């Protein structure tokens, strides 16, 4: 399902869930495409779960010190970005041991061949011959994350769609064999307007792991860094502020950034900048981004030092462990294990 279809559906009785890996500071793309989406949905759904997928992050080598910092940083960023801890259960995946337990039971009902077909596994394993067994079973852990909480919708980028579809297969197979246990989840894919592109190569996605720092705006970039990156963004030689993804991907990307962060629309922007040059437009885009991220950063640095985060995580761990234990026990009984 995409965002456009979603407006027409009653969301009041729905549960949503998503996770982000703590593999570095999140980008403006992650913020607009994933976090801001959750901020919008938190007011219209029955229940919302947002977690840090730290156990997924260790399927590839991590520096322990950096990982530790990235985990706390991501929790603080969720809240600083507007995720309300009263409206969402914000938790750490590794705080809940039943995710791995449920994952094991699901692994034992998932055919090897099905996992071998996962595109992300094929990509990542081809880049490193010493890949871990965890990289292979990664999608089953993701299925466990989703199925434990009876999630109706899973907001993810298009790259994760195949994994949510696998979670559906896993759920369906288990339900058929052992009786109704899991709800069928659906991926919730944001529409193209919220896909933020690389600043230097606007035909590819802005991504956390990009090798060129000038391509990507990180949520914690300073005012000067943001201004420099936006002023240096690739555009075209037409000198016309007009939305045209195919012929003017750079300008269209900057317009998408503005409309995602303000009340502006594409026509209002085109009108506002008629006859103006790219420099003026870019300065405006930079101001919009600096203002939005400035507010987030202020809150972020306040949160990092406080013990508010620990309290939020502690309560969420209790709540999610109880839910997951119940599902784990239900599965055990159905599979013939002792509870």
Cβ 208 to ligand ATP, closest distance in Å?
Answer: 4
Q: Which of 28, 41, 89, 142 binds ligand LTN (CB under 6 A)?
A: 142
Task: Confirm or reject binding of residue 209 to ligand ATP (CB under 6 A).
Answer: yes
For residue 154, the minimal CB distance to ligand LTN (Å) is 5
Size of the site for ligand LTN (CB under 6 A): 13
Residue 33 and residue 194 in contact, taking contact as beta carbons nearer than 8 Å = yes
55-74: which residues touch ligand ATP (CB under 6 A)?
none
Planar angle of CA 286, 188, 103, nearest 5 degrees: 115
The 10-49 site mask, x for binding ligand LTN (CB under 6 A), equals -------xxxxx----------------------------
203 or 311: CB nearest ligand ATP: 203
How far is Cα 234 from Cα 287, in angstroms, rounded to an integer? 18
The contacts of residue 12 (CB under 8 Å, 6+ apart) are 44, 45, 46
* Phi–psi pair at 156, nearest 5 degrees: -145, 165
Contact status: 157 vs ligand ATP (CB under 6 A): yes
Question: How far apart, in whole angstroms, are the C-alpha atoms of residue 194 and residue 112?
Answer: 35
Closest CA to 324 of 112, 120, 107, 145: 145
Q: State yes or no: residue 259 binds ligand ATP (CB under 6 A).
A: no
Question: Which of the residues 3, 208, 240, 332 is marked catalytic?
Answer: 208
Catalytic residue check, 14:
no
Q: Does 195 bind ligand ATP (CB under 6 A)?
A: yes
**Which residue from 50, 75, 106, 156 is in contact with ligand LTN, where contact means CB under 6 A?**
156
Closest distance to ligand LTN from the beta carbon of 186 (Å): 12
What DSSP letter does each residue of 263-324 carry, written as one string? S--HHHHHHHTTT--HHHHHHHHHHHHHHHHHHHHHHHHHHHHSSHHHHHHHHHHHHHHHHH
CB contact at 8 A, 297 and 220 = yes
**Interacting partner of 19 out of ligand ATP, ligand LTN, none (Cβ under 5 to 8 A depending on kind):** ligand LTN
Q: Edge to edge, what strands does the sheet with 47-52 contain?
A: 89-92, 47-52, 15-20, 153-156, 186-189
Note if 208 is an active site residue: yes
CA distances from residue 332 to 86, 139, 151, 179, 325 in whole angstroms, order as listed: 32, 21, 20, 12, 10
Q: Is 124 a catalytic residue?
A: yes
- Nearest 5°: the CA angle 55, 63, 119 is 50
Site for ligand ATP contains 250 (CB under 6 A): no
H or E element at residue 338: none
Q: Binding to ligand ATP by residue 229, rule CB under 6 A?
A: no
| Interacting residues with ligand ATP between 8 and 37 (CB under 6 A) | 20-21, 23, 27, 29-30, 32-34
Instruction: Tell me if 53 contacts ligand LTN by CB under 6 A.
Output: yes
- How many residues can be counted in the chain? 339
State the catalytic residues.
Answer: 124, 205, 208
Residues near ligand LTN (CB under 6 A) are 17-21, 53, 56, 142, 145-146, 154, 156, 160
Name the residues that contact ligand ATP, by CB under 6 A: 20-21, 23, 27, 29-30, 32-34, 156-157, 160, 194-196, 205-209
């Amino acid at each position: 399902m995409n965002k456009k279809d979603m407006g027409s559906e009653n969301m009041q009785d729905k549960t949503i869930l998503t996770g982000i890996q703590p593999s570095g500071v999140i980008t403006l793309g992650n913020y607009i495409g994933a976090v801001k989406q959750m901020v919008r949905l938190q007011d219209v759904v029955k229940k919302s779960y947002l977690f840090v997928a730290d156990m997924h992050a260790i399927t590839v080598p991590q520096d322990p010190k950096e990982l530790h910092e990235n985990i706390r940083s991501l929790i603080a960023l969720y809240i600083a970005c507007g995720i309300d801890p009263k409206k969402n259960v914000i938790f750490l995946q590794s705080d809940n041991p039943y995710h791995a337990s449920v994952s094991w039971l699901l692994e034992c009902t998932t055919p090897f061949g099905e996992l071998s077909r996962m595109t992300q596994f094929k990509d990542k394993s081809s880049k490193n011959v010493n890949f871990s067994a965890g990289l292979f079973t990664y999608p089953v852990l993701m299925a466990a994350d989703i199925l434990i909480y009876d999630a109706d919708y899973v907001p993810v980028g298009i790259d994760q769609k195949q994994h949510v579809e696998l979670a559906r297969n896993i759920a369906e197979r288990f339900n058929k064999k052992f009786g109704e246990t899991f709800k069928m989840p659906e991926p919730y894919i944001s529409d193209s307007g919220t896909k933020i592109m690389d600043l230097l190569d606007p035909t590819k996605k802005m991504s956390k792991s990009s090798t060129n720092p000038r391509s990507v705006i990180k949520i914690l970039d300073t005012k000067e860094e943001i201004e420099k990156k936006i002023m240096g963004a690739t555009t075209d030689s037409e000198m016309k502020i007009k939305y045209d993804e195919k012929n003017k991907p750079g300008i269209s990307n900057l317009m998408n950034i503005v409309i995602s962060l303000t009340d502006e629309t594409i026509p209002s922007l085109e009108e506002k900048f008629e006859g103006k040059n790219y420099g003026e437009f870019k300065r405006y885009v930079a101001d919009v981004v600096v203002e939005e991220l400035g507010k987030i950063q202020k809150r972020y640095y306040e949160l990092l030092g406080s013990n508010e985060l620990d309290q939020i995580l502690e309560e969420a761990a209790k709540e999610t462990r109880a839910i997951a234990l119940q599902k784990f026990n239900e599965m055990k009984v159905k599979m013939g294990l002792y509870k």
